[in-house]
Amino acid sequence: MAWRWTAWRLVISAFVLFHLSALMIWTVPPCCIKERFDKYYRYYILPLGIWQWGAIFAPEPIRDTTVVNAEVVDVKGIRHIHEFPRIGDLSWWSRIPRYRNPKFTNNMISD
């Protein structure tokens, strides 16, 4: 039974080490270490939505908002414009599950 506890502790320790190293590599300024490991950690960091970057702080914060609209043509050739809801226009209860999704989409488009 003791070996199971030891194995479980090793698995947890390996995950914590991986997670902390991913956060450290992701948040450091551009350097050779980040360039080398960034491509591996991106598959872990981006889908979870736990990334951070310095562009939201001074001296030059991001001032743009991404808005997505779709122009759809149906079978009869009629064009319809579909406006996706903006997070700011939703009620606070509807915002909660949708908050991370726009961040993920925006970062995937900008890269």
Which pTM value belongs to this model?
Answer: 0.51
CA 99 and chain centroid, separation? 10
Percent of the chain at pLDDT > 70 equals 72
Domain residue spans of the chain: 1-57, 64-111
What is the predicted pLDDT for the residue at 101? 55
What is the predicted pLDDT for the residue at 53? 65
What is the predicted pLDDT for the residue at 43? 86
Q: Collapsing DSSP states into helix, strand and coil, what is residue 77?
A: coil
- Which of 47, 1, 5 minimizes the C-alpha distance to 22? 47
Is residue 88 within 8 Å of residue 48, measured between CB atoms? no
* pLDDT tens-digit readout, 46-96: 777 776 666 556 566 666 667 778 999 999 999 999 887 777 788 878 777
What is the predicted pLDDT for the residue at 77? 93
Is residue 71 within 8 Å of residue 79, measured between CB atoms? yes
Mean pLDDT across the chain, nearest whole number?
79
